[in-house]
Each structure stands twice: as structure tokens, then as C-alpha cells.
Chains A and B, each alone.
Chain A
Amino acid sequence: MSTRSALRRAAAAPRRREPRALPQRGVGLKRVALMAIVVVILQITVMPYITVADGIPDLVVALVVSVAVLRGPLVGAVTGFACGFIVELTTPIGTLGVLALLYLAVGFWCGRFADRPEASTIRLPLVLIVAGAAFVQVGYALFQLLLGTEMTASVIALRIVVPTVALSALLAPPVLLVARRLLGAPMVVEPGMLDA
């Protein structure tokens, strides 16, 4: 009786959809470079005008995490370094090398998730994007505190860090989806593969 009713319940229950496997698309470094260029251009031209409190959305971190999760720590770190350096070089910002270091760290750390099965899902990269955005903002805030900024920690947290992380999380899904479409299934890229 109990076995039969369990079978009936199982048949009646909606079948859980298996996540669709992402296609294999090769290393795709040219696609990574193309996405990086587009995202950096958007970051330096459009994003500064989208503000809530003192927060500005961070598209770069969304790209770096997406690339890192799909192509591993090396490509993630190099993408982070390059994007951060270009952003600092081309905009009226008072630092050089700081954002590059922070994005590099995010790319390297998130790249370590590339060989896990969850790398193919949407949820893990989104969580990592939020964590990465928070890491970059807190890291930059600590750097500013070292430089002697007069902003208090509460102002930094409420007016800059929280709005920036929230806006970055809101704008992250499109970046992630484009990255998944262009790069396909996760693959850890090692230096040897680049020679081949």
C-alpha cells in the first residue's frame, strides 16, 4: 500500500528539470578579450551615471567572476588585472594598480570553483559575483582608510559598499548569461593549453 502510494505520488509530482549542459566552445580567449573590452567601455562611460546613494554598479566584477568560473583561475586573474588596470588608467580616479590587484584576487579566487560541478549552474556565479563585489568595495575602502579618508565606516558601508554591491548584483545576470553563451561549458585553462 505504502509502496504503491509512494509510486503514485512520485508519478504525480512535477518532474524536476535537469540543468541543460553547456556546450563545449574551446578556450575562447578572443571572446574573453571582446567581452572585457565591451564591459570596460560600459564601466567607464555609462555606469558612472547610474548611481544610488554613492554606489555605482560594478560590471567589471561580474565579468571577472563569470570568466573565472568558466575558464579557471589563470584566465580569471589575468582578466581581472587587465580590466582593473585599464579602468584605472583611463578614468579620473586617484589610484593605479589597486583595482587591478583587487580584481586579480577576485578572478584567481573565483577561478578555483571552475572545476566543480556547480560552476555550470547560475546560482554559484551569482553568489560569487556578490561576494566579489563586496570584496572589491571593502578592499578599496580599507585602502582609502589607509590613505586617511575622513569618511566614517558607517558612511562607507551604507552609502558606498551596500549600494554598489546591490547594483552590481542587479546588473550581473545579463553579464553572466552572455559569458555562458559565448564561452560555453566550464574548463580550467592552463598555460600549456595556450601554447597548443
Chain B
Amino acid sequence: MIRRGIIGGLIAVCLIVFTAYFRESGGGPLHGAQQMAGTAVMPLQSISSRAVQPFRDGWGWVTGLFDARGENEDLKAQNAALQARVLALSDQSAEIARLKALLRINDGVPGGYTPVNASIIGRSPSNWYARATLDAGTSDGVVVNSPVVAGAAPGAALVGLITQTSALSSTVTFFTDPSIRIGATVDGSGGALGVLRPTVGGQLTMDGVPRDYRVQEGSIVRTAGFSAQASLPSVFPRGIAIGQVAGSGSRDVDTFQTIQVTPYVDVRALSAVAVLTPQSAAARRRAAG
């Protein structure tokens, strides 16, 4: 009888907590408690994040091998065309390119924002949510809806936005999270506008681009500065690089085409990012939604 009472009580607590959690706003007491608890374990996560770095690299190497095997057939087809270029490259030049990309983390930062560098110290233990904890918070100027970028080939490339903050830490929601939609445009397409949404495997899909626009493979996809509701300003300022067009297509009956976009940044392998903290009045208005 007592056992049933205890278990019934715990079930009731669960039901009450998750009902209250989804009913309250992002600044409610349960969200606050979650943020506070996240901040409390931040030092632990920071230490363990550094401690497991070699193992992460090793695991990344192993899984990279498996991925490479899966891509083998495609790569064979491309091999002939790329062979001449591949021979010209060495491991050293690849390393230099990677380091240069990291240094360009602050290149292409839009006006009205100041980048604040941050390390990823914790990640969501469930892939239902593509989120991570950063070691920068409101004391560093980070506010909710601040865009987050990382170094990539064309300079700063978008990786997500800040969705929760505390004094010393913040939560970044990556663009691979199912809740994220980004108004985007394609360079060289004559102003094609669409909405990016995540698909499987860290890829993105751009919807809502009329078929009249000619979109070329390899073109850069950037933030458009508007939200999914088209006429409203987006929390993402215009012009931040997101990825490259990997392909496009539509059926004869479709009015719009669907564009596949490969992001510049693999958010699963990130360890450092820059949070664009709004400084100008316009940037603050964007962040305020």
C-alpha cells in the first residue's frame, strides 16, 4: 500500500512537472531551475569535456571511417575529376586551411553585433534536441535569440541561436534542431528566397523557392533577414553564410522547388563557437523578436 502510494506520488510529480513545464514561458520557474542546475554542473561538464576530448577524437575517427566506406561509391565517380587536385594537396595544406577557417570565425560578422567566443561544455544527451551548453552567459552580453556562428571556409557560418541564458552559461539550439526555421537566400540566383529546415544527417532543405529561379549547385546559401512568416524580421541578420547548394528539384506539378543544402559547419564536431551579441538598436530589436 505504501509502495503504491510512493510510486503514485512520483507519477503525479512527473505529470505535474511536465504539464507545468510546457505551459510556462521560457522564463518560468521550471525553465529557470533547469538553467540553474545546468550552471551548477557547468564546471563538471567543462572538466569532463576536456578529459574526454581524446576519446571523442578517436570515436570521430572511427565513425569517420564508417562514413567514408558508405560514401565510397560516390567518391569513386568523383575520383577521376578530383585526382589532379587531390595530388596537389598535402596534409599540411589541409591543416593550414582548417586553422585559417578557425581564425576566420570573426570574418563576415554582420554590423551591429559583437562576437563573444565560447566553448561548448555540454551537449544534449538525446538527439531529439540538437542543443549544447556554452560557457558564456548574460555576464558576457549573451541574450536570448543571439545568433551563433563558427569558423568555416567562407568566414563566419551560422550554427544556431541562443535559446536560454543564465549569468555564466547559455544554451545554443543548432540549426539541425527540428524546431528551427531560417529564412534564407541563395547567392547568384536573382534573389531566390525560401525557408530552411533541418532534415536527417545534419543536412538542410530549403522550401518555398519558386521554380522560376535558377539555383546552381555550389552556390552559397545565406540568411535572408526575414522569418518563416516572411514579412517579419528574423532573429538572424541578413547575410550570414549557412551552407552550399547540394542539389535542387521539383515535380512538373509543383510551383516551388526544393533545394538541398549542405551546411558549412558540422555541428556534431564543434567545440568552439562565437555568439553574436546584439549591440545596435536594430540588432536588439531583432533579438527581442
The interface of chain A, by Cβ under 8 A from chain B, is 41, 43-52, 54-56, 73-74, 77-78, 81, 85, 87-98, 100-101, 104, 108, 140, 144, 149-151, 155, 159-160, 190-192
Of A52, A73, A140, which contacts B128 at CB under 8 A? A140
Q: Are the C-beta atoms of A151 and B178 separated by less than 8 Å? A: yes
Tell me what chain A mostly uses at the interface: helix, strand, loop, or mixed.
Answer: helix
- In the complex, what's the smallest C-beta–C-beta distance from B92 to chain A, in angstroms? 28
Residues from chain B with a CB closer than 8 A to the CB of A91 are 38, 122-125, 133
> Is the C-beta of B132 less than 8 angstroms from some C-beta in chain A?
yes
Which 10 pairs, one residue from A and one from B, show the smallest C-beta to C-beta distance? A97-B18, A97-B17, A45-B48, A48-B123, A101-B14, A92-B131, A54-B127, A191-B2, A96-B21, A89-B37
CA distance A191 to B4 in the complex (A): 10
Residues from chain A with a CB closer than 8 A to the CB of B41 are 44, 90
> Is the C-beta of B45 less than 8 angstroms from some C-beta in chain A?
yes
Q: How many A-B residue pairs have CB under 8 A?
A: 139
Residues from chain B with a CB closer than 8 A to the CB of A43 are 125
- In the complex, what's the smallest C-beta–C-beta distance from A157 to chain B, in angstroms? 12
Residues from chain B with a CB closer than 8 A to the CB of A78 are 6, 10
Q: Which of B52-60, B77-85, B98-106, B233-241 contacts A (4 or more CB under 8 A)?
A: B52-60
CA distance A92 to B49 in the complex (A): 15
Residues from chain A with a CB closer than 8 A to the CB of B285 are none
Tell me what chain B mostly uses at the interface: helix, strand, loop, or mixed.
Answer: helix
Q: Are the C-beta atoms of A45 and B122 separated by less than 8 Å? A: yes
Residues from chain A with a CB closer than 8 A to the CB of B30 are 96
- In the complex, what's the smallest C-beta–C-beta distance from A76 to chain B, in angstroms? 10
CA distance A90 to B17 in the complex (A): 15
- Nearest-neighbor residue (CB-CB) of A57 within chain B: B125
Q: Are the C-beta atoms of A104 and B124 separated by less than 8 Å? A: no
CA distance A177 to B3 in the complex (A): 27
Q: Are the C-beta atoms of A74 and B128 separated by less than 8 Å? A: no
Q: A49-B123, A90-B38 known; A97 and B13 CB under 8 Å?
A: yes
Q: Are the C-beta atoms of B125 and A48 separated by less than 8 Å? A: yes
